[in-house]
Chains A and B, each alone.
Chain A
Amino acid sequence: MEWYESEIIWVLIKILLLFFVIITGAGYYTLMERKGAGYFQLRYGPNRAGIFGIFQPLADGIKFLLKQETLPKNVDIYLFLAAPAISVITAVLLWSSIPFTPLIKLPVEVLGKSEVNLQVLNPNSGLLFLFAISSLSVYGILLAGWSSNNKYSLLGAVRSTAQMISYELSLSLSIIGVILMTGHLDIYRIVEAQSKYGWFLLTIPGFLSFFIFIVSVFAETNRLPFDLAEAESELIVGYHTEYGAFKFALFMVAEYINLITISFLTALLFFGGWNVPFFLREMLEGLWWGPLVGVLFFVVKGLFFAFLFIWVRWSLPRFRYDQLMNIGWKYLLPLAIFQIFLSGIYLYIK
């Protein structure tokens, strides 16, 4: 048996590729955020490391490695070290079930394969898998805050956990509109359904779903205007106050990977993923590299949402904590339930 015939090798290659892409992606997202922050505030942002600050993420990484490592003496050491690892693992695991291309049918057989699927795993309950794993990311934050044995960390962690679980309700309910319209939990099929019926955003319940989804996502990822977990004027930086050097960097990497995941998931669920505009679709019909053009559109859509996070961060002030909980429980949750009624009736009539 040749090496390329065994499936495990292909899975390893895909995972290595994925790792490279998302870790560098997270690095360059921090650059994008700092550049964005710079331009929103009429300054340059990082521009010393390479042209346009292109080597800044690399410089940051090296600097994190060379920092003095501190282990505060009151911490619970095992949990203290496990917490950033849990954050990173959950963030990375999310990517195993996100499809980013359709099946590519090659014109010739390359290494015994005529179809290429770049997804690591395609579970037919992809969305359920995603939500299951993303709920686990709460543990990283909660353990970090608790094991630090620092008042600010604990407050930040507890706030953040309460906030994340509150908004997870509206998040998981907002997806139901999308599932109703496709009848699948498989993200691949959800995107395929959109090539038939058009973007889900453009349907009436789909728009409401999208609105609830995007608001909950901002709270889920602890971004402004919902970044109560690290409200720096009250809590230093929240749950990772006691972390330094690369332990802190792991939290940052996890946070930015999560942001990228969410951006691309939004593009997949509501904006047609890799579907190209209708006038291009006929031109690309039958070409084997047609799907790759789709991937380009997908990346552009995903990057737009990545930019949206930065845009909102520098445009809106932070909410107060009671306001945040009120928005989640008293407005967003009833709206999400109403959205289920609406989608049900819409599909019944259609």
Chain B
Amino acid sequence: MVTDIWPVLIQFIFGAGFAALILILAHIIKPKLKKPSESHPETFECGIPFSGDARGMFNIQFYIVAMLFILFDIEAVFLYPWAVTFLKYKEIGAAGFILIEMFVFLIILLIGYFYIIKKGALDWEDPE
């Protein structure tokens, strides 16, 4: 039942409360400086003045990894129900059938996997 997971909700409230309490507490008892330094709230950049901001571009490879992750993670989710029911199928003598079913699925997955390897989607720039 979905409603049975209410203890998780309580735990969530406790966790959020803990984090909020600690942040507020730290805010209250922090040392009050008479003359705070001007450079203190600057963004850190190795001791030199900060230039530009961090909303720039970064390597496209990260997007590719994220996309491939979604594909493969969905495959993993499909495998879970199969794994849970395997023993039940074995009891009624259909283990061979369900095993071959999954092998077909995995082989299709592997074909896609070798395709992305051959395409070089997972090759990171070699610094050397």
Binding site for B on A (CB under 8 A): 8, 11-12, 15-16, 18-19, 23, 64-74, 81, 84-85, 88-89, 91-93, 95-97, 120-121, 123, 128, 148-155, 158, 161-162, 165-166, 168-169, 172-173, 176, 179-180, 182-185, 236, 241-242, 245-247, 249-250, 320-322, 325-326, 329-330, 333-334, 337, 340-341, 344-345, 347-348
| Choice from B8, B23, B68, B73 contacting A246 with Cβ under 8 Å | B23
In angstroms, Cα B33 to Cα A162, docked, is 40
* Contact A325 B122, CB 8 Å, known A12-B10, A123-B5: yes
With contact pairs A19-B14, A74-B53, A166-B69 given, residues A84 and B86 touching in the complex (Cβ less than 8 Å): no
- Identify which of B10, B54, B117 gathers the most chain A CB atoms within 10 Å of its CB: B54
Of the residues A154, A169, A183, contact of B85 by C-beta under 8 Å: A183
User: A185, B80: Cβ atoms under 8 Å?
Assistant: yes
Using Cβ atoms and an 8 Å threshold, which residues of chain B touch A340?
Answer: 79, 102, 106
Asked if A92 and B14 make an inter-chain contact with CB atoms under 8 angstroms apart, the answer reads yes
For B7, list chain A residues within 8 Å (CB). Answer: 11, 15, 96, 120-121
A-side binding surface: helix, strand, loop or mixed?
A: helix
B18 at the interface (CB under 8 A from A): yes
Complex Cα gap A269–B31 (Å): 47
| Closest chain A residue, CB of each to CB of B114 | A334
B80: which A residues are within 8 A, CB to CB? 128, 176, 179, 185
Binary CB contact string for chain B from 35 to 73 against chain A (1 if under 8 A, 0 otherwise): 000001111111000100111101000100110110011
In the complex the two chains form, is B23's CB within 8 Å of A85's CB? Answer: yes
Residues facing A in B77-127 (CB within 8 A) are 79-80, 83-88, 90, 95-96, 99, 102-103, 106, 109-110, 113, 117, 122, 124-127
With both beta carbons as reference points, the residue of chain A lying nearest to B62 in the complex is identified as A162
16 A–B contacts, CB within 8 A, in A order: A8-B10, A15-B11, A72-B41, A89-B15, A93-B8, A97-B8, A121-B5, A151-B54, A162-B66, A169-B72, A179-B80, A242-B44, A246-B25, A337-B109, A341-B106, A344-B86
> How many positions in chain B have a CB within 8 Å of any CB in the partner chain?
67
Q: What's the dominant secondary structure at chain B's contact region?
A: helix
Given A68-B30, A69-B30, A72-B43: A15 touches B14 (CB 8 Å cut-off): yes
> A residues within 8 A CB of B88?
183
Nearest-CB residue, chain A, relative to B59: A158
Whether B84 lies near A179 (C-beta < 8 A) is yes
Contact A71–B19 (Cβ < 8 Å): no
Of A70, A184, A344, A347, most B-chain CB atoms within 10 Å: A344
A244 to B22, CA, bound (A): 13
* Nearest-CB residue, chain A, relative to B126: A322
Is A185's CB under 8 angstroms from B84's CB? yes
A172 to B90 alpha-carbon distance, docked (Å): 23
**Bound CA–CA A155/B45 (angstroms):** 13
The interface residues of chain A lying within 8 Å CB-to-CB of B76 are 169, 172-173, 176
Additional A-B contacts beyond A68-B31, A92-B15, A179-B83 (18; CB < 8 A): A64-B26, A65-B30, A72-B42, A74-B43, A92-B14, A121-B4, A121-B5, A121-B7, A151-B54, A162-B62, A169-B73, A169-B76, A172-B73, A173-B76, A180-B86, A180-B87, A334-B110, A348-B90
Write the chain A residue with the least CB distance to B29: A65
Give Cα distance in the complex from A185 to B82, angstroms: 12
Q: Nearest B residue to A62 by beta-carbon distance? A: B29
Q: State whether A92 touches B122 (Cβ < 8 A).
A: no
The answer for the CA separation of A3 and B66 in the assembled complex, in Å, is 50
Contacts of B50 in A (CB 8 A): 74
